[in-house]
C-alpha cells in the first residue's frame, strides 16, 4: 500500500522533521549497534504487548479478528525491526505516514495510540537499561527516545492531517445540505431553510443562492422559512440582505412560510417588512413565482 502523499510532500516532511528533532548520524548508528541484541527479542516483546492489549476495550473492536491480528502482528514486527536497523530516509518516512493514515481510517483514537507507544517505550527502555553490551547506556537511551518522539510525532501529524481533511469534507457536505438551492423550473430557484439561521449560515445561504442565480440566470427565488424555529431581528436582517443582494442581480425573492406566530413576532419587534415580498404558504409562493415567468397553474376542482 502506498501513501496518499506525493514524493515531494514526503521529501518535505522528511527534511522538516529531521531538522526539528536534530537526529544525528551517531544516534542512528548506536541504535544499529544495539539491533543484534534487541531485534531477536521483538517477538517476545510483542507477545507481552498483546497480553496487555487483550485486557483493554480496543482489542475486541480492532484486533480480535485472527487474520487481521496476524497481519497487524507482521506489520508491528516490521515496524520495530526497521526502527532499530533502518536509516531515516524517504522510504522510512513513508512507512510512518502509512501508519498514521491507517489509524485515522480505522478510527483508532490517539489516546489508544499513545497508550500503546508508551507501553513499547517502557518495554524497550527496560531492555536498554539491562543491556550487557558495551554501548553507552545513556547515549543509547537518548537515541532511542529521540527516534521514538520522531516517529510518534510524524504518525500523529499524519493522523491529524487526514482527520482534518475528513472533517473539512464533512463540513462541505453539511454546507451543501444546509443550503440546498434547487432550480424547480427554468428561471425559478427554491431554498427551504430548516433550523437556526445564524450569521454564518446566512452568509453561506447568500453565497449559495447568488452563485445559483449567476449560473442559472434565475429570475425568481423562493425562500421557505416554515422550518425556522425562531424569527428575530437578526434573522429578519439576514433575510433582508439575501433578498436585496438577489434583487441587485435581477432576481426577485419571495419569503414563504410566514406563520401567524412568525407574523406576530415580526410585528412585535417592529421590523420593517415593506421591502420583503412574503406569502403564508409555499404553495402560494410557487404560484406567484410561476406566474412571474409566464406560467399558470390550473387546478382541477371536482
The structural architecture, per CATH, of the domain 7-176 is Orthogonal Bundle (1.10)
pLDDT number for residue 195: 81
Rounded CA separation 90/108 (Å):
25
Rounded CA separation 293/252 (Å):
11
pLDDT number for residue 121: 95
Cα→Cα distances 96→32, 51, 164, Å: 19, 25, 18
pLDDT in tens, 62-79: 777 888 888 888 999 999
Rounded CA separation 211/216 (Å):
9
If pLDDT is split at 50, 70 and 90, which confidence band does 161 have? confident
Contact 79, 147 (CB under 8 A): no
pLDDT number for residue 219: 94
Diameter of the chain measured on Cα atoms: 102
pLDDT of 172 over the 80 cut: no
Contact 266, 288 (CB under 8 A): no
Residue 286 burial (CB count, 10 A) = 21
Residue bearing the bigger pLDDT, 80 or 270: 80
pLDDT number for residue 298: 66
3-state secondary structure the chain: CCCCCCHHHHHHHHHHHHHHHCCCHHHHHHHHHHHHHHHHHHHHHHHHHHHHHCCCCHHHHHHCCHHHHHHHHHHHHHHHHHHHHCCCCHHHHHHHHHHHHHHHHHCCCHHHHHHHHHHHHHHHHHHHHCCCCCCCHHHHHHHHHHHHHHHHHHHHHHHHHHHHHHHHHHHHHHHHHHCCCEEEECCEEEEEEEECCCHHHHHHHHHHHHHHHHHHCCCEEEEEEEEECCCCHHHHHHHHHHHHHHHHCCCEEEEECCCHHHHHHHHHHCCCCCCCEECCCHHHHHHHHHHHCCCCCCCCCC
What average pLDDT does the structure give for the chain? 86
Question: Mean pLDDT throughout 112-126?
Answer: 93
If pLDDT is split at 50, 70 and 90, which confidence band does 222 have? very high
pLDDT number for residue 299: 66
If pLDDT is split at 50, 70 and 90, which confidence band does 129 have? very high
Rounded CA separation 84/244 (Å):
67
Question: Mean pLDDT throughout 236-242?
Answer: 85
pLDDT number for residue 30: 94
pLDDT number for residue 1: 56
If pLDDT is split at 50, 70 and 90, which confidence band does 178 have? low
Residue bearing the bigger pLDDT, 216 or 166: 216
Rounded CA separation 91/82 (Å):
11
- Residue 42's Cβ-side half-sphere holds a number of Cα atoms within 13 Å equal to 18
Question: Mean pLDDT throughout 194-216?
Answer: 86
Query: Domain extents for the chain?
Result: 7-176, 182-292
Of 26-40, 86-100, 110-124, 286-300, least confident by mean pLDDT is 286-300
pLDDT number for residue 248: 93
pLDDT number for residue 170: 73
If pLDDT is split at 50, 70 and 90, which confidence band does 138 have? very high
Cα→Cα distances 126→42, 85, 136, 137, 141, Å: 13, 19, 15, 11, 10
pLDDT of 176 over the 70 cut: no
Q: Is 110 exposed, middle or buried (0-12, 13-18, 19+ CB in 10 A)?
A: middle
pLDDT number for residue 245: 93
The structural architecture, per CATH, of the domain 182-292 is 2-Layer Sandwich (3.30)
- Tell me if the pTM is above 0.75: no
pLDDT of 190 over the 90 cut: yes
pLDDT number for residue 63: 77
Residue bearing the bigger pLDDT, 242 or 200: 242
pLDDT number for residue 173: 65
Amino acid at each position: 500500500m502506498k501513501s496518499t502523499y506525493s514524493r515531494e510532500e514526503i521529501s518535505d516532511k522528511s527534511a522538516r522533521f529531521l531538522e526539528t528533532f536534530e537526529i544525528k548520524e551517531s544516534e542512528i548508528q548506536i541504535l544499529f549497534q544495539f539491533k543484534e541484541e534487541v531485534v531477536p527479542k521483538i517477538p517476545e516483546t510483542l507477545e507481552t504487548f498483546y497480553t496487555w492489549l487483550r485486557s483493554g476495550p480496543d482489542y475486541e473492536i480492532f484486533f480480535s479478528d485472527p487474520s487481521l491480528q496476524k497481519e497487524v502482528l507482521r506489520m508491528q514486527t516490521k515496524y520495530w525491526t526497521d526502527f532499530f536497523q533502518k536509516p531515516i530516509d524517504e522510504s522510512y518516512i513513508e512507512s510512518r505516514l502509512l501508519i498514521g493514515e491507517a489509524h485515522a481510517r480505522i478510527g483508532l483514537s490517539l489516546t489508544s495510540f499513545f497508550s500503546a507507544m508508551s507501553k513499547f517505550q517502557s518495554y524497550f527502555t527496560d531492555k536498554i537499561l539491562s543491556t550487557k553490551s558495551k554501548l553507552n547506556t545513556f547515549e543509547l537511551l537518548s537515541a532511542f527516545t529521540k527516534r521514538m518522539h520522531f516517529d510518534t510525532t510524524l504518525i500523529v501529524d499524519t493522523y491529524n492531517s487526514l482527520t482534518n481533511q475528513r472533517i473539512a469534507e464533512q463540513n462541505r457536505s453539511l454546507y451543501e445540505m444546509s443550503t440546498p438551492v434547487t432550480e424547480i423550473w427554468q428561471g425559478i430557484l427554491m431554498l427551504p431553510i430548516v433550523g437556526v439561521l445564524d450569521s454564518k449560515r446566512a452568509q453561506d445561504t447568500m453565497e449559495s443562492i447568488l452563485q445559483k442565480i449567476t449560473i442559472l440566470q434565475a429570475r425568481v427565488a423562493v425562500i421557505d422559512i416554515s422550518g425556522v424555529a425562531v424569527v428575530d431581528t437578526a434573522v429578519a436582517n439576514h433575510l433582508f440582505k439575501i433578498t436585496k443582494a438577489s434583487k441587485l442581480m435581477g432576481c426577485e425573492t419571495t419569503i414563504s412560510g410566514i406563520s401567524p406566530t412568525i407574523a406576530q413576532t415580526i410585528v412585535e419587534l417592529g421590523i420593517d417588512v415593506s421591502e420583503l415580498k412574503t406569502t403564508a404558504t409555499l404553495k402560494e409562493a410557487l404560484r406567484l413565482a410561476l406566474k412571474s415567468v409566464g406560467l399558470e397553474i390550473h387546478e382541477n376542482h371536482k
